[in-house]
Every structure is written in structure tokens, then in C-alpha cells.
């Protein structure tokens, strides 16, 4: 859970502000690509004539309790982008378990647009996080070759065209809980002392508001933590237990299936015995499938996330997907009409899609069309941080799910299947989607079918259209 920007007591309001009207008009000069160049061609920070006025604006915004936490972050990003004249300013928060690093707001200056960004795994970038913890500001003039940010180069910096970066950690007490990233697109630029000091002021404003929010809600948060084990820890515990049981059970099942197979192939045994052996094989295969689900759930889904086009990746995966569900379940696929880049592990994406499509197939025992559609959606309904998402919709025209069962379908072990399903498929889907910073919405009516919508934060950038972040 991230501090204050999930569906929580201080959930975000609104989304893209367009002109930046969040209780005050957007400040600063007209949008431009970046700072000025010196005689060598490298960009330098523009004169900071309005630095003190900008600091005052930051202070007022951070102290304005009429604004939601997300609105404060949006205004802070606007002020920082216009003052430092950088294209991208974003606020990232570290999850309470210190495992994930999520962009809760990204402001793109040339478009005057706000959005949510990707969710990264802290363990994938140890050098960067070590550098962030050691200083109040991290200036990188040549970010794609700087050893402190080299881990981010291929998957993040190059596809987005980021050449220089000025990051400042957000503190809550002595603990780093997030980062404000100032990302420059264009010729490399330098970060003089004035720019570094201002970046620290931006991070301090974000930290002040987080401290204020935590003070107001500390008791409620403490109660929530005391009531139950965090869901991520519960998943990990159950996963390890399930994997251990599955390994032992698989060894026993291998012996049973091996002997049943030998009996079924013999010609010197009665037909009734062969029939019983075939029944053992049939039931045993169902047991083997359950074991595969248990082992899959027990694996820690680390993965290797990168920028991919959801539509391109699914189009490459579609033939295999169609083979898996069979000809009586034709898949109709509609790709997105706009750029649909997301930060996700391709293998995890395939597991999510396969589980959803197989779930749709099982809802239509007599066959039927499975519809898949990718679109760009804006949401502010509290299920996730408000912003733009890439949405994958999987729809069937099957039996549907009763309303009273909908809140339970993602729970471990819950199944609606009459033949006794494992109850792990949708739990795995939710686990992988949430790990990538996304969320799921389900609509279903008995007798009419179900629609699963998966939302991943949309990643945007000037250079994405020039690259080809599809499957590799």
C-alpha cells in the first residue's frame, strides 16, 4: 500500500487538469522544451528569477488542506516544471513494505497533462536507490551514461528520451519515502546550485504534505494495520505453504499416474480394469493441473518489467492464445487506437491474459466468442489513483457471476466452478496486476456474461513513438 494515493481515506480526486486548475491557475511561463544552451551546445538551467515566488507557492499549496493529496502533488509538479523549465516532473512513493516504487503523478509540461506512471520494483535498481538515500539531491547531467542511473537506461530513460535528470528524495523523519524526479528531454543540461536547492524545496513541500496527511490519519492507519496481516505478506505466506504441499503431492501423483498408465496399456487385463485405470488417469490429470496452479502461485512474481505496447504484445500472443482455448471459442481482438505503452513483465502479462481467457471459456461450456479490447481510459473512481490507464477488456457471454459472489472471486481458494476449480487463477491475476501498479474491475450478470477490465498505468513520452517496445 502506498501512502495516501490508493483508494484510502484521502483518496485522489480528479485527474488530468488540462490547464492545471487545481484551486489556482497554473503558474510559470508558456510551455517550452527545456532550458537554454551554452556555447558547447549543452543546456543549462534558465535564470531562476521566480525561485522565491515559486517557493512561496509551494509552501501555500502544501499547507492548503482543501486540496487532496493528489491535487497537491499535481500543483507541486506544475510549479517545479515551470520554474526549472523541464518537460517531465513526477512524484514517486515507496510502498510501506519498501518493495515497490510507484509514480503517483507525472506532469508533462508541453501537454499540460497529468497522469499516473509505472510501478517499479526497488530490488531491480539497487544502485539508484543507494544513491538516493545518500544525498539531498541527485543531479545527473548525462543520465544515460551516469553509473548511478545506468540501471534505468534501457527500460526507462532511452524509450522516454530523458537525457538529464535532477532527483530529490522525499523524507518523512529520517526515512526516504519517495522521490521527486525532474526529467529533461532534449540536449543534455547542467544543474547549477540554484536548481539543486530548488529541487530540494520541491521534495520538502511534498514531504510536508505527506507528514500532515499522516498526522491526520495516523490513528485510522494504525487501526487498519492492527486488524490483519498485510495482504502482500499473506500472499507470500500462503504461496510458500502451497508450493511445499504441491511438491510433495506431485511426487505421489507421479507414482500413481505412472502405474495407472502401465495398466491402461496392457492387453492381458480385463476391460473393466483398463476402464478404471483410464479414470485414474483422467482424475490424476486434474490433480496435476491443480499442482501446477499451486506451484505457480507459490513462485514469487519478480519478473523483468519493461516498456511494451499492450496491443502489439497481445497481437503476437494471440495465435497461441487461440490454440489454447480451441476453435469453438473464437477470440475477437481490437487493439488500441492510440499509443498504449505500459511498464510490465511480458511473461506476467501473458499469464494474466491466459487466465482471464480460460476463465471466459469455462463460463461458456457450449462455446462462444471471447471479446478482447485494448483502450485508453481515464478513471477517478477510487479503485486506483486518478489518471490515464491502458485498459484490457475480456468479455464473455456465459453464465455470469451472482452479485453476492463478485466481492469474493479474487480471494484465495474461492471458485464458482461446479467441478471444483483451484480458486487460484483469479488470485494470481490480481497479484500480478497489482504488482505492476494496476487494478481490476469486474461487471457480471447471471445469464448475460462477465466483463473483466484490467487497468495498467499508461506511460507516455516524446520518443516512445520512435521506438518499438513490443515483444522480444
| Residue corresponding to grid cell 538551467 | 45
Cell of 137: 539531491
The mean predicted confidence, pLDDT, of the chain is 78
Q: What is the mean pLDDT of residues 77-95?
A: 94
Entry pTM: 0.63
389 Cβ partners below 8 Å, 6+ apart?
116, 376, 377, 378, 379, 438, 455, 456, 457, 458
Q: Which three cell numbers stand for residue 339?
A: 499509443
Centre a 10 Å sphere on the Cβ of residue 109 and count the other Cβ atoms it contains: 25
Residue range 413-453, pLDDT digits in tens:
566 655 555 556 788 888 889 888 899 999 999 999 999 99
Strands 36-37 and 387-395: unpaired
Q: Is the pLDDT of residue 253 over 80?
A: no
What's the confidence (pLDDT) of residue 418?
54
CA 21 from centroid of its chain's CA atoms: 27
Question: Can you tell me the distance from the alpha carbon of 19 to that of 242, in angstroms, rounded to the nearest whole number?
Answer: 51
342, 436 contact by CB (below 8 A): yes
pLDDT 10s digits, 15-41: 333 333 333 333 333 334 344 455 455
Q: How many CB atoms lie within 10 A of CB 462?
A: 17
Residue 448 CB coordination number (10 Å): 13
**CB distance 143 to 162 below 8 Å:** yes
Band (pLDDT 50/70/90 cuts) for residue 292 is low
* Model confidence pLDDT, tens digit, residues 310-366: 999 999 999 988 888 888 999 999 999 888 999 898 888 988 999 899 989 999 999
Q: What whole-number percentage of the chain has pLDDT above 90?
A: 35
- b/e per residue 146-185 (b: at least 16 CB within 10 A): bebbebbeebbbbbbbbbbbbbbbbbeeeebbbbbbbbbb
Amino acid at each position: 500500500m502506498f501512502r495516501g494515493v490508493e483508494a484510502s481515506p484521502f483518496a485522489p480526486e480528479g485527474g488530468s487538469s488540462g490547464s492545471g486548475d487545481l484551486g489556482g491557475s497554473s503558474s510559470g511561463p508558456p510551455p517550452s522544451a527545456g532550458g537554454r544552451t551554452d556555447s558547447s551546445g549543452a543546456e543549462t538551467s534558465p535564470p531562476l528569477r521566480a525561485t522565491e515566488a515559486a517557493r512561496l507557492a509551494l509552501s501555500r499549496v502544501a499547507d492548503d488542506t482543501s486540496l487532496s493529496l493528489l491535487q497537491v502533488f499535481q500543483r507541486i509538479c506544475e510549479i517545479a516544471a515551470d520554474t526549472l523549465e523541464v518537460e517531465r516532473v513526477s512524484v514517486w512513493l515507496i510502498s510501506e513494505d519498501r518493495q515497490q516504487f510507484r509514480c503517483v503523478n507525472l506532469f508533462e509540461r508541453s501537454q499540460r497533462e497529468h497522469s499516473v506512471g509505472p510501478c517499479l520494483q526497488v530490488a531491480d535498481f539497487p544502485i539508484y536507490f543507494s544513491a538516493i538515500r545518500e544525498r539531498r539531491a541527485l543531479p545527473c547531467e548525462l543520465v544515460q551514461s551516469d553509473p548511478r542511473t545506468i540501471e534505468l537506461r534501457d527500460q526507462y530513460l532511452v524509450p522516454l528520451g530523458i537525457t538529464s535528470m535532477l532527483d530529490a528524495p522525499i523524507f518523512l523523519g529520517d526515512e526516504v519515502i519517495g522521490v521527486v524526479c525532474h526529467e529533461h528531454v532534449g540536449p543534455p543540461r547542467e544543474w547549477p546550485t540554484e536548481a539543486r536547492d530548488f529541487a530540494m524545496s520541491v521534495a520538502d513541500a511534498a514531504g510536508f504534505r505527506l507528514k500532515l496527511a499522516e498526522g491526520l490519519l495516523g490513528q485510522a492507519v494504525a487501526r487498519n494495520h492492527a486488524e490483519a496481516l498485510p495482504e502482500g505478506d499473506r500472499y507470500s505466506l500462503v504461496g510458500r505453504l502451497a508450493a511445499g504441499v504441491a511438491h510433495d503431492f506431485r511426487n505421489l501423483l507421479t507414482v500413481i499416474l505412472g502405474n495407472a498408465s502401465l495398466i491402461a496399456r496392457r492387453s492381458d487385463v480385463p476391460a473393466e480394469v483398463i476402464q478404471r485405470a483410464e479414470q485414474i488417469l483422467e482424475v490424476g490429470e486434474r490433480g496435476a493441473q491443480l499442482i501446477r496452479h499451486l506451484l505457480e502461485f507459490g513462485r514469487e512474481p519478480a519478473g523483468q518489467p519493461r516498456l511494451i505496447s499492450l496491443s502489439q504484445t497481445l497481437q503476437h500472443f494471440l495465435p497461441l492464445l487461440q490454440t489454447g482455448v480451441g476453435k469453438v471459442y473464437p477470440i475477437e481482438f481490437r487493439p488500441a487506437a492510440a499509443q498504449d505503452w505500459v511498464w510490465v513483465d511480458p511473461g506476467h502479462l501473458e499469464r494474466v491474459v491466459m487466465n482471464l481467457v480460460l476463465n471466459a471459456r469455462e463460463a461458456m461450456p457450449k462455446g462462444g466468442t471471447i471479446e478482447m479490447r485494448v483502450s485508453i481510459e481515464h478513471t477517478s473512481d477510487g479503485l486506483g489513483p486518478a489518471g490515464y490507464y491502458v485498459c484490457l477488456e475480456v468479455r464473455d457471454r456465459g453464465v455470469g457471476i451472482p452479485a453476492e459472489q463478485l466481492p469474493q472471486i479474487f480471494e484465495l481458494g474461492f471458485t464458482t466452478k461446479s467441478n471444483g476449480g483451484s480458486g487460484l487463477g483469479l488470485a494470481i491475476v490480481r497479484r500480478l496486476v497489482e504488482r505492476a501498479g494496476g487494478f481490476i474491475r469486474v461487471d457480471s450478470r447471471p445469464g448475460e456474461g462477465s466483463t473483466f477490465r484490467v487497468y495498467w498505468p499508461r506511460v507516455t513520452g516524446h520518443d516512445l513513438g520512435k521506438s518499438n517496445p513490443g515483444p522480444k
